[in-house]
Structures are given as structure tokens and as C-alpha cells.
Structure 1
Amino acid sequence: MHPRLLKTFLAVARSRNITRAAEAVHLAQSSVSDQIQSLEAELGAALFTRSKVGLELTPAGQALKPYAEEMLMLADEARAAVHATTGHTSGALAIGALETIASARLAPWLPGFQAGHPGVTVRMKVADSGTLLRQLEDGDIDVAFCFGRRDVTNGASDERLARRTIAAEPLVLVASAGQGTAPCDLAALAARPFVATEPGCIYRHLFDTAFAEAGVEAPRLAAEVGSIGAIARLVAAGAGLGLVPRLAVSDALARGELIEMPWPGPMQTAPLTMIWRRRRVQPPALRQLLAAAGDTLAPATSRGETGSGLESADHSKALFPNNS
């Protein structure tokens, strides 16, 4: 089974649609159909069947899927092992990030990384945290930068993924310039209207957790919106208060559109986390990027994949204690 056919098979399995799969693997629809037919002829079994919601895997397709994923991963690891023997760091990397992290942290940092690693080509994708994890699991990106959930960081995580918290980004209480003073305790603060993102978003999780950990019922929401940018605009217009990572509103604070109020309780932070797939051998280019990001992207007390501190000065070894 040629890896090209397996890659196309997995693209169809994930998208359940020939057109979307063709876009994902950069082929014509007819080529995707031909490759699936070739694979089915080689295996002597139909891999897909049509349903009302799209293409569905047959029992044979379901049996093939985990083997296809493993075979492609082994091919990547073999390629990485060979490249590691040459001593040269080169290759193409796809990184994914939340929009606020991409603009505030990665955009200023990436040019310096690429200048120091001219053989490495980096392209960046911006998406929400759920999409980033799916892209990581599907192999569409090599590493994701997002804010972590504490329950995941502390061990309730996918064993296929490795995580490292590289910074503790402060959460700030923001208001419009004419908002006045903040209440002196959390109970009084919770009586004020807030603007937050929608349920399921990592920013909403951070907002809800900040009040839940203090034993205070979450505030009434004046609005639920889809982005931090919308929160900043609504708060600046006086719709309510906001509790967001400082990096997401630093420009608005600098322009005077928002003001930062004191948080009447223990300081809240958002863990800025790198997530990547575990492999027996990591591509040298990815090893270099992870090590550089861990060193320079606002380093803080960090956790490795097992939750232990990274005390070693050799961050490459700390990130990959067992080539994972």
C-alpha cells in the first residue's frame, strides 16, 4: 500500500467528502476517486459507502484506518530518523495558534526563529482550540499554541499528545474608560454585567473557572460573543466588564480604549501551552522549534509531558526525554 494512497484514504475518511478531501491533499477530485478505487482493488474490499450525511467507512475501511495512521506515522518517523543523522535542520512545519497568541506572541517571534533556521519553512494556521486539536490529531499541523485547560494540563489529556506550559499569561479585569471603580470583593463584582465568549471556548472556560474557584456564582452576561476582539469592543462601549488574557487586549489598553481594574482576589492566569504529537523520533526541525519556543516565548514555570518541572538547561532533552 503506497503511502500516497493511504494519505488520500484518510483524507476522505476525515472529511467524508471527495471534494473536501481533494482540497486537503491538493489533488483533483478524479484523482482522489482513482486512488480510492486503486486501494480498494489492492485490498479486495470496498472502503466507503454512501449515506445521507456523506461517505461512511465500511467495516473494511474502519479496520484499515488505524493501520493507515500508524503506517504514515512510521514513515514520518523513519524520515525524521534519517534526517537526524545528517546534522542539518531543514523541512516544512505547520503550526497552529489561537488568533490572540498568533498576533501577540508568534508574529513577533517567528521572524527571528526563521532567520536562525533558514532551512526550516514555517506556515501558520489560526483557529479555535477545538479545531487546533483536531488538526493536530489529523496531522494537519505539527504543533499547536493555545491556552490550556487546567483539568487537561493536570493529566486528563489525550495520551497521543504531549504538552508543555511555557508561560502563565495574566488574566485582567477590563472596563471602559468611564466605568468607575471596581467592587472591592468578588461577590460584588459578580453582580456586575460581563461580556464573555460562548460556552465551549477556552476563554469562556477561563472566565467561568476564575469565579468557580473562588466559590462565587458566575456573573450575569450582558453578551456572549465569538471572539476576544468583540469582547474588547463591547467592553469599550460600556456593555459590561471583561476578564481576558492581557495579551489579547494589550493594544486596546495602550490606546486607552480599555482600562485595567484590580481583581479582588488571587491573581488569575491562563497557561500558554504548546501541544504536539508524540513520536518515537521527532523531526529535527520540530525539535528546534519547540526548544526555541520554550526558551523565548515568555518562559515561566513549565511542565513536561509528565507534569514534572523542566530544570535542565538543555531544553531539547527536556522536551523529548524519550524521543517523544
Structure 2
Amino acid sequence: MHPRLLKTFLAVARTRNITRAAEAVHLAQSSVSDQVQSLEAELGAALFTRSKAGLELTPAGLALKPVAEELLRLDAEARAAVQAAVGQTSGQVTVGALETIASARLAPWLPGFQARHPGIIVRMKVAGSGALLRQLEDGDIDVVFCFEPRHFAKDTSDQRFARRTIMAEPLVLVAAPGKGTAPGDIAALAKLRFVATEPGCIYRHMVDTAFVEAGVDAPEIAAEVGSIGVIARLVAAGAGFGLVPRIAVSDAIARGDIVELPWPGSARAAPLTMIWRRRRVQPAALRQLLAAARDTLVPTERSGAESTKHSNALFANSS
């Protein structure tokens, strides 16, 4: 069974749709159908059946799915082992990141990485945490950079994945200019209106957790929006307060569009974490990127000594 056919089969199994599978593997729909039929002919069994909900795996397809996943993992590990044996350091690595992290942390850092490793091609995918982790699980992404507050991990017991905290990004309370000072305690702050992302989003979790951990109910949400950029604009217009990573709103603060207020409690921070699939042999390109991120992806606003000290302390305490 050719790995190409297995990859196409798994794409159809995940999407349950030929059109979406074709987009995922960058093939024409007819090519996807031909490859599935070739695999079915080779195995002598139908792998899919049609239903109102889309394509469903047959018993034969269900039996093939975990084996196909393992075969593709072995194929990737075999290639990585050969690359390591001959000292090859080139290749391609696909990075997934939240929009905030991609623009504020990875975009300034990646040119330096690529200058040091010209043989490595880096592809970037930007999406929400849930979508990124699904793509990592499916093998479409090699490493994900996301915020991971306590108790928000998808499944910290899942031994298929490794994770490493790189740094802690400060969370800041922001308001429109002229709003005055924030209340002196969290209970009073919880009675005010906030602007946040939708439930289920990692940024919304940051807001809710900040109050729940202090023993008070989460505040009333004046507006639920899809991005931190919109949160900043609504806060600037006076729609409510916001609690967001400082890196996401540093430009708005610098321009004076919004102001940072003291948080009435212990400082809040969101760990910036990279997550990747465990392999017996990591591809050279991914290994180089993980090492570089560990050593050099630090906040530019800190002094070099402080950044290194902070990053090393987080690594010492991370899983």
C-alpha cells in the first residue's frame, strides 16, 4: 500500500467528504476518488459507504484506519532516520499558531531562523487552538504554538504528544482612556462589563479562569467577538474592559487607544507552549526548529539576561 494512497484514505475518513479531502491533500476530486478506488481494489474490500451525513467507514475501513495511521508514522520515521544517518538538515516543517502568536512572536523570529537554516522550508498555518490541535493529531501540522492556561490542555495524559512551555505571556487588564482606575478587588471588578471572545476559545477561558480562581463569578460579557483585535477596538470605544495577552494589544496601548490598568490580585500570565507529536526519530527540520524555539524564541521587550533567566526557569518546571 503506497503511503500516498493511505494519506488520501485518511483524509477522506476525517472529512467524510471527497471535496474537503481533496482540499486537504491538494488533489483534484477525481484523483481522490481514483486513489480510494485503487486502494479498495488492492485490498479487495469497500472502505466507504454513503449516508445522509456523508461518507462512512465500512468495517474494513474501520480496521484499516489505525493501521494506516501507524504505517504513515513509520514511513515518516524511516525517512527521518535516513536523514539523521546521512547528516541531512534540510526539509520542510509545518508550524501552526494562534494569530496573536504568529504575528507578535513567530513573524519577527522566523526570518532569523531561516537565515541560520536556509535548507529548511517553513510553512505556517493560523487557526484557533482546537483546529490546530486536530491538525496536529491528523499529521497536517508538525508543531503547534498556543497559549495553554492551567486545566486547558486538550489531554495532558495523551502520550502521543510532547509539550514544552517557552515563556509566560503577561495578561493585562485594559480599558478605554479616561475610564479611571480599576476597582481595588476582583469581586468589584467582576461586577463590571467585559468584552471577550466566544465560549470555548482559549482567550475566553483566560478571562473566566481569572475570576473563578479568585472565588468569584465571571463578569457579564458585554460583547463576544472573534478576535483580540476586535476586542481592543471595542474596549477603546468604551464597550467594556478586556483581559488579554499584552503582546496582542501592545501596539494599541502604545498608540494610546487603550490603557493598561493594574489587576487587583496576583499577576496573571498565559504559558506560551509548543506541542508536537512524539516520534522515535524526529525529522531533522522539526528537530532544528524545536531546538531554536527553545533557545531563542523569547520576548523582545525583556532584556537579554532577564529573558534567558525567565525562559530557563520555565523550561526547568515544564513537562
Query: Could you say which TM-score interval applies, normalised by the shorter chain?
Result: over 0.9
What SS class does the counterpart of residue 223 from structure 1 fall into? strand
1:204 aligns with 2:204: yes
What SS class does the counterpart of residue 178 from structure 2 fall into? coil
Alignment deviations for residues 97-128 of structure 1 (CA, whole Å, 9 cap, x no partner)? 00000000000000000000000000101000
**Larger deviation, residues 212-221 vs 126-135:** 212-221
Residue identity opposite 1:301 in structure 2: A
1:207–1:243: 8 Å Cα contact kept in structure 2?
A: yes
Residues 77/152 of structure 1: CA separation in 2 closer, same or farther (3 Å cut): farther
What is the percentage of aligned positions where both structures have the same residue?
77
User: Whole-Å Cα distance in 2 between the matches of residues 154 and 80 of structure 1?
Assistant: 27
Equivalenced residue count is: 307
Residue identity opposite 1:302 in structure 2: L
Match of 2:270 in 1: 270
Distance apart, 1:249 and its partner CA: 0.5
What SS class does the counterpart of residue 151 from structure 2 fall into? helix
User: Whole-Å Cα distance in 2 between the matches of residues 117 and 134 of structure 1?
Assistant: 28
Distance apart, 1:181 and its partner CA: 1.1
Matches within 5 A, 1:219-234: 219-234=219-234
Distance apart, 1:157 and its partner CA: 4.0
Alignment deviations for residues 40-68 of structure 1 (CA, whole Å, 9 cap, x no partner)? 11111110000111111111101100000
Residue identity opposite 1:249 in structure 2: V
Match of 2:91 in 1: 91
Match of 1:42 in 2: 42
Match of 1:316 in 2: none
Alignment deviations for residues 175-206 of structure 1 (CA, whole Å, 9 cap, x no partner)? 01121111111111111111111110000111
Residue identity opposite 1:43 in structure 2: L
Distance apart, 1:302 and its partner CA: 2.9
Q: Which runs of 4+ in 1 moved over 4 A?
A: 152-155
Residue identity opposite 1:73 in structure 2: R
Distance apart, 1:300 and its partner CA: 5.3
Distance apart, 1:297 and its partner CA: 1.7
Residues 14/153 of structure 1: CA separation in 2 closer, same or farther (3 Å cut): closer
Distance apart, 1:153 and its partner CA: 5.3
Alignment deviations for residues 146-174 of structure 1 (CA, whole Å, 9 cap, x no partner)? 00131255973422111111110110000
Alignment deviations for residues 234-259 of structure 1 (CA, whole Å, 9 cap, x no partner)? 00000000000101101101111010
Residue identity opposite 2:225 in structure 1: V
Residue identity opposite 2:224 in structure 1: E
Residues 118/245 of structure 1: CA separation in 2 closer, same or farther (3 Å cut): same
Distance apart, 1:88 and its partner CA: 2.6
Alignment deviations for residues 257-282 of structure 1 (CA, whole Å, 9 cap, x no partner)? 01000001000110100000111110
Residues 23/116 of structure 1: CA separation in 2 closer, same or farther (3 Å cut): same
1:302 aligns with 2:305: no
Residues 155/137 of structure 1: CA separation in 2 closer, same or farther (3 Å cut): closer
Match of 2:303 in 1: none
Q: Please, what is the CA RMSD of the aligned residues?
A: 1.5
Matches within 5 A, 1:109-258: 109-152=109-152, 156-258=156-258
Any gaps of 5 or more consecutive residues in structure 1?
Answer: 311-318, 320-324
User: Whole-Å Cα distance in 1 between the matches of residues 182 and 24 of structure 2?
Assistant: 49
Match of 2:82 in 1: 82
Alignment deviations for residues 76-107 of structure 1 (CA, whole Å, 9 cap, x no partner)? 00000100112231001110100000000000
Alignment deviations for residues 13-39 of structure 1 (CA, whole Å, 9 cap, x no partner)? 111111111122222211211111111
Match of 1:315 in 2: none
Q: TM-score, normalised by structure 1?
A: 0.92
Match of 2:301 in 1: none
What SS class does the counterpart of residue 314 from structure 2 fall into? coil
User: Whole-Å Cα distance in 2 between the matches of residues 146 and 44 of structure 1?
Assistant: 43
User: Whole-Å Cα distance in 1 between the matches of residues 158 and 229 of structure 2?
Assistant: 30
1:153–1:163: 8 Å Cα contact kept in structure 2?
A: no
Q: TM-score, normalised by structure 2?
A: 0.93
Residues 6/154 of structure 1: CA separation in 2 closer, same or farther (3 Å cut): closer
1:168–1:300: 8 Å Cα contact kept in structure 2?
A: no
Match of 2:260 in 1: 260
User: Whole-Å Cα distance in 2 between the matches of residues 88 and 37 of structure 1?
Assistant: 36
Match of 2:20 in 1: 20
